[in-house]
Amino acid sequence: MLRRLASLILCGSLATLGSACATKSFVQKQVGATESKLTRQMTATETNLTERAELQETKLRETADRTGESRLAIDAADQRLNGLDMRVGEVGTLASGAKARADQATVAAHDAEARLSQRFASRNTYRLLDTKAVYFNSGQTEIRSQDVNELEAVAKALTANPSASLELQGFADSRGSDRYNRELARERVEAVMRYLVQRHGIELRQLQAISMGKVALSAGERASPEALARARRVDIRLLAPWSSWEDAQTQIDRGAREETATVVPAPPAHATIATLPAQPEPAQLPQAARVDPPAQGRLPEFLKTITLKDLGGEE
């Protein structure tokens, strides 16, 4: 009985031990298979990750290249924009200069129109530049030697300024009849005119003469030799149109400003015959004024207002 029990126990132990050995081998096989599977999966995953990393790196490199190209294009665009900005600035400067010149041309046109209107309005207005007198001996009409310098100065002024003119008034003293004194005064005026025309070629249109006859003595004045000598004379009045005188003064002032920028001489209060400036050339409109359409449109309208009466004629 004991032997049978022992045998059963021993057989059970052997069976259990054999079963345990079979289970360990199975487990080892299963673990090996799992490890192989995991190794293959890890290898496949690693390969996949490597490929994806390489693909991403390639894409990143391509993106970097495109970014570099884009930066170069942006830099080139910036340079072109800077060039355009410079050209736009130059065009703006030119436009500003053109506008300034246009404004100056407009001002010049208005100024020229104003000067033309003023010159036309003052065409018959004269300025007295100087007065002189030439004296004669009693009953004589010959020019005295001491008065030649006065006539030379007058002739020089008339030659220099063709627009200037002379008013000549002849006088005689109070002795003698009125008819005799008028003739004597007329001959003295004609003697002065002949001197200017024959000696210096002065045009007759620049000379206006009248015989005033005798000079009556004022109340209480005695017929002294000095008073009679003062009466035997030809008064000379030098006249010039206002426009001509203003142009001459403008040229004198401009010449003085060009000679010195610090000392500007004051214009003379009363011009003399010897210093009468030459008649300037007719003033021309500036180039900009001649091409300014508004100025051209206004000038004919202004000329339409001129009548024959304004020109000295009769309507």
Encode pLDDT of 274-305 as tens digits. 444 444 333 333 333 333 444 444 444 544 55
Q: Is the pLDDT of residue 152 over 80?
A: yes
Residues with Cβ within 8 Å of residue 268, at least 6 apart in sequence: 275
Encode pLDDT of 46-65 as tens digits. 888 888 888 888 888 888 88
Reported pTM: 0.45
Q: Is the pLDDT of residue 73 over 80?
A: yes
204 or 280, higher pLDDT: 204
Q: Region 110-128: what's the mean pLDDT?
A: 71
Q: Of all residues in the chain, what percent carry a pLDDT higher than 70? A: 69
pLDDT of residue 129: 87
Q: For residues 85 and 79, what is the distance between their CA atoms, to the nearest angstrom? A: 10
CB distance 256 to 265 below 8 Å: yes
CA neighbor of 280 nearest in space, from 155, 164, 114: 164
287 or 151, higher pLDDT: 151
pLDDT of residue 307: 58
Confidence of residue 81 (pLDDT cuts 50, 70, 90): confident
DSSP 147: G
Residue range 125-216+223-280 in CATH 3.40.50.300: no
